[in-house]
A and B are shown apart, each in its own frame.
Chain A
Amino acid sequence: TQLLEQSPQFLSIQEGENLTVYCNSSSVFSSLQWYRQEPGEGPVLLVTVVTGGEVKKLKRLTFQFGDARKDSSLHITAAQPGDTGLYLCAGEGLRNTDKLIFGTGTRLQVFP
């Protein structure tokens, strides 16, 4: 069974600080997605990374896919209160019939 562990589970920081969220597995994934979910709403897709070592930037958010395609990280520079939410990674298995596997989630709170 493929599992995705996210760390940290909870993170509370002040506005302006930098942070990194990790998504780790012992399995290889074809691609990995990051979602952000605000309270009472459904998750919203932020980015998909496909190639080992790939780095994608979305404004202050930097996403990286590990070289071996088993892990990923999300780095936020100069966090803002609007970044508050639950961050979920999700991996696509190697077989085209595999379902998305969602990570355990990281809850981020950014205080003004």
Chain B
Amino acid sequence: SQTIHQWPATLVQPVGSPLSLECTVEGTSNPNLYWYRQAAGRGLQLLFYSVGIGQISSEVPQNLSASRPQDRQFILSSKKLLLSDSGFYLCAWSLGEGVEQYFGPGTRLTVT
């Protein structure tokens, strides 16, 4: 069966510090991978998606970047965090676009 992992689960970082959130998927090959940000109790904002190694598409301009160094690894990064980067970050995978997505447990990021 497929599983998706995210770490860390929670993170508190000062403004201006770097960020690296990691997501890995097990039990499937060549998945589509997604990074979302969720404001408290609201819907999901798609940040990045990837259909293959090294292929990253950005949905919104922002202070963040994403990379996919391996087939089942997706990393969300920032060189200098802003207060507005605080939120709940979710990684998801799917087999194809527009089909069901399966989410990781999320990372709660607080920028102080």
In the complex, the answer to whether A33 meets B100 with C-beta atoms within 8 Å is yes
A47 CB, nearest partner CB in chain B, Å? 10
Measured between alpha carbons, how far is A79 from B33 in the docked complex, in Å?
34
In the complex, the answer to whether B42 meets A104 with C-beta atoms within 8 Å is yes
CB neighbours of B109 from chain A (8 A): none
Measured between alpha carbons, how far is A98 from B59 in the docked complex, in Å?
12
What is the number of contacts between chain A and chain B, taking CB atoms within 8 Å? 57
In the complex, the answer to whether B92 meets A86 with C-beta atoms within 8 Å is no
**B7 CB within 8 Å of chain A:** no
The B78-100 residues at the A interface (CB cut-off 8 A) are: 90, 92, 94, 96-100
Number of interface residues of A (CB under 8 A): 26
**A42 CB within 8 Å of chain B:** yes
The A40-87 residues at the B interface (CB cut-off 8 A) are: 40-45, 48, 86
Contact partner of B103 (CB less than 8 A), chosen from A6, A31, A44, is A44
Name which residue of chain A comes closest to B39, CB basis. Answer: A105
CB neighbours of A93 from chain B (8 A): 98
**B74 CB within 8 Å of chain A:** no
Measured between alpha carbons, how far is A30 from B46 in the docked complex, in Å?
19
Most A-side CB within 10 Å, residue of B43, B46, B108: B43
In the complex, the answer to whether B97 meets A96 with C-beta atoms within 8 Å is yes
Give A28-42 as 1s and 0s: 1 = Cβ < 8 Å from B's Cβ atoms: 001101000000111
Give B43-79 as 1s and 0s: 1 = Cβ < 8 Å from A's Cβ atoms: 1101001000000000100000000000000000000
In the complex, the answer to whether B105 meets A41 with C-beta atoms within 8 Å is yes
CB neighbours of A99 from chain B (8 A): 46, 49, 59, 97-98
Give B18-48 as 1s and 0s: 1 = Cβ < 8 Å from A's Cβ atoms: 0000000000000000001000011110100
Most A-side CB within 10 Å, residue of B49, B99, B105: B99
Closest 4 CB pairs of A and B: A42-B103, A92-B98, A102-B44, A105-B43
